[in-house]
Amino acid sequence: MAAKKQPEQALVERWRDILALHARTQCEVDRALHGHGLCASDFEVLDLLAEGAAADGGPAHRVQEISDRVHLSQSALSRLIGRLEKDGLVERAMCPEDRRGVRVALTAKGRALHGEVRPVQRAVLARMLAQTD
């Protein structure tokens, strides 16, 4: 019976290590971006919007597409987008193809801030994730 417990316990310990690394990394990213007026979740949305614009040439993502990629509840994401919009970093507009949907796009100010803080966030990721190698 003890032999069955060992692989299961190793699995649980591995999972807890992943969670701890995520929490430490999230805190470090938050700390590094604080001086720029952003938290890690703010940056994730800006980064997703920047990548999407670069990848397909499209200026915006639907909120549902963002929700599928970031790990926030729908209400938390809505509040975050509202805060970014208030700060002039993103703009929202109705989807022309589906009037129930909302599209979110980076503003020029949002693109500039993303470009400024992207190296900061990437440096934190590189440092924190190097600890796992």
Computed over every residue of the chain, the mean pLDDT equals: 88
Residue 12 is predicted with a pLDDT of: 95
Instruction: Tell me the residue type at 25.
Output: T
In terms of pLDDT, which residue wins out, 31 or 3?
A: 31
User: Does residue 29 carry a pLDDT above 80?
Assistant: yes
The strand pairing partners of 116, in sequence order, are none
Residue 50 in tokens: 């920047």
So where are the chain's domains?
7-130
Q: Which of 73, 45, 49 is nearest to 61 (CA)?
A: 49
DSSP track, 31-46:
HHHHTTT--HHHHHHH
Confidence category of residue 45, pLDDT binned at 50, 70, 90: very high
Confidence category of residue 133, pLDDT binned at 50, 70, 90: low
Could you tell me which residues come within 8 angstroms of residue 71 by beta carbon, excluding any fewer than 6 positions away? none
Mean pLDDT within 115-125: 97
Does the domain made of 7-130 have the CATH classification 1.10.10.10?
yes
58-103: pLDDT as tens digits: 567 888 889 889 988 889 999 999 999 999 999 988 877 776 778 8
Query: How many angstroms separate the CA atoms of 133 and 123, rounded?
Result: 16
